[in-house]
A and B are shown apart, each in its own frame.
Chain A
Amino acid sequence: MFNMKKVLTAVGLILLMPLALCLAGETGDRLSKESVIEKIQKDKVIRVGMSTFVPWAMKDKQGKLVGFEIDVARQLAKDMGVDVEFVPTAWSGIIPALMTGKFDVIIGGMGITAERNLKVNFTTPYDYSGMSMVAHRKKAEGFSTLDDFNTDAVNIAVRMGTTAEQAARKFFPHASLRLFENESQALQELNLGRVHAVVSSAPMPVFHALKYPDKLFVPLEENFTKEPIGFAIRKGDPDAVNFFNNWIINQHASGFLKEKKAFWFESRDWEDLVK
């Protein structure tokens, strides 16, 4: 009736239980001690990796950082009771820099993608962005749909390593892509009429078209993607994910994020700060 084996397994499990609990407790303890949150509290400073991306983060006339992202990071630091230290980083190297500990968190308008998520952990989105497009009036005359741009004859400029690059590859597989390290280079290429269009996160393309109305236009009325934007942190840090997630949920609830978004993305009141 009694299966000896089963009994032994049960006894074994009961004996092992305290040990397992003990181990689990220790693991939890160790994880929280190793969390970047703990480190930030200890060092009294949060180091934030970012890159210039109008109007997410940019330098104003006085060389001070301003922008949507910068406001978010400053508020985060304030709520944690620590100083904030921004580490401007070339976009193409920002994930390796996070992984090798050059800073604690990326708050840089980073779109959450599966590919990136394999290398880093993301928080829940604190914002949503979408891909938009600005085109050259002469070169892209009469273009008004995505398909118009998806031909062999079309050249599209994007910033390297961004989700704009991925979106351009996905939506315009036939067009040829020109990759640039910075957005200003891609836009320069467009202003010179060497490419048909630049794909980038909203609202920059629309702003740029407004700046050169005689030369450029916005071919698509609406953004053609919607993508979630999150903080990125090193893998294996559940404490940090939990802390940042809840902070973001709180800021959504309090209206802080909405208010900042309205200021940086829907108004141009900040223009004078920059130029």
Chain B
Amino acid sequence: MLNKSVKPLTLVDLAVVLAVTAGVFFFFVRMVQVLDYHWDWQAIPGYFLFKDPETGRFHANMLLQGFGTTLKLSIWSMGIAFVLGTLSGIMGARGGFIGQMISRFYVETVRNIPSLVLVILFYYFVSSQFLDALGLDQWVRNQSAPVTRAISLLLAESGQINAFVSAAAALAIYEGAYISEIVRGGINGVSGGQWEAAWSLGLSSFNTFRLVILPQAFRRAAFPLAGQFISTIKDSAIVSVISVQELTFQGMELMAATFLTFEIWITITLLYFILTFSLSRTISFFEKRMAIRQ
């Protein structure tokens, strides 16, 4: 990748650029004609931050709050999905018969259920049986103010916490199935010679796996894993169906109140793009550094 020289611009490239620009331009011209829409962008910044007229301090408004919730939700579900998926992937690749069966059962069940259905099933059945019985929301409500604030910073406010936890769990289980396959593929992709070489050096099986195989497997899996993390951010939009107050839900609520349909959808698209694009840039930065060290 690093040694690749930059190719000179050809006539074909120019033609492609022109065609794409013309296409985008035509699309927007048509859209404005067809929609016959009164654009009103002025209101949008106020939905990020608003100034309290009494104190003069700025407060996060719906879009920023939704953005924060999407961020929290993505981080939690990515973290849990990574742990779940890695465990299941290792079990699938190196586990005994039972281990492999469990891993396959998990992956095949989850992969064959639409994520929307999984999220709804989780919310109405699983979380109603466990989370509501645990009384997590009531527990949060009874804590002192700093604790409540910390929990709402890390997770969600008391009224939202059950929905948030069940959404994060459902997303994590869903994404974990894909990560499991990626990790399994990464481990199986490390050539058998690596095992033999490590054994001949006197490493035990466990240490071989931990020190030789797993790092190589993760290097192979890094690229698809990154793709899966970006998917997680985008998939988090589906939890708006169970009324988690993330970006999509907040946007829909705003649209219902203001009817600024297109302005809000475009803003939301940009916000998701900021999240996913910065994540993919970060990952490619680390990839390059890893490549140099290697």
Contacts and interface: CB of A to CB of B under 8 A. Distances in A.
B135 to A, nearest CB: 9
Given A59-B253, A59-B254, A61-B46, A85 B159 contact: yes
Contact of A274 (B34, B62, B160, B258): B258
Contacts of A192: 34-36
* Residues of B contacting A: mostly: helix
A89 B59 CA distance: 24
Interface string A85-101: 11111100100110011
Contact of A187 (B34, B43, B249, B259): B259
B128 interface: yes
Given A43-B138, A47-B159, A58-B256, A184 B261 contact: yes
B257 A274 contact: yes
A90 B241 contact: yes
A182 B241 contact: no
Contacts of B252: 181-182, 184
A176 interface: no
Interface string B224-254: 0000000000000000111101000100111
Contact of B261 (A59, A101, A188): A188
B261 A185 contact: yes
A63 B65 contact: yes
A63 B242 contact: no
Contacts of B59: 62-63
A30 interface: no
A182 B163 CA distance: 21
B273 interface: no
Contacts of A87: 159-160, 243
A11 to B, nearest CB: 47
A275 B43 contact: yes
A165 interface: no
B223 interface: no
Contacts of B255: 182, 184-185
Contacts of A217: none
Contact of A54 (B36, B37, B256): B256
Interface in B123-176: 124, 128, 132, 138, 141, 158-160, 162-163
A139 interface: no
Contact of A89 (B50, B52, B141, B243): B243
Give the most central of B50, B52, B132, B243: most A CB within 10 Å. B243
Nearest to B160: A87
Interface string B17-47: 0000000000000000011110000010011
A244 interface: no
A59 B62 contact: yes
Given A101-B128, A101-B132, A93 B34 contact: no
A275 B256 contact: no
A100 B258 contact: no
Interface string A139-154: 0000000000000000
Given A85-B158, A90-B243, A96 B124 contact: yes
B61 interface: yes
A122 interface: no
Nearest to B258: A275
A88 B132 contact: no
B259 A100 contact: no
A237 B141 CA distance: 25
Contacts of A181: 252
Nearest to A274: B257
Contacts of B240: 90
Contacts of A187: 259
A44 B243 CA distance: 23
Contacts of A86: 159
Contacts of B34: 192
Nearest to B243: A89
B258 A102 contact: no
A53 interface: yes
A45 interface: yes
22 contacts: A47-B159, A53-B256, A59-B254, A61-B50, A62-B52, A62-B61, A63-B47, A85-B159, A86-B159, A87-B159, A88-B245, A90-B241, A90-B242, A90-B243, A93-B120, A97-B124, A184-B255, A184-B259, A184-B261, A188-B261, A192-B36, A275-B258
| Chain A to chain B: the 4 pairs with minimum beta-carbon distance, closest first | A58-B257, A52-B256, A184-B255, A85-B159
Given A59-B254, A185-B261, 6 more contacts: A58-B256, A87-B243, A88-B253, A97-B124, A188-B259, A191-B36
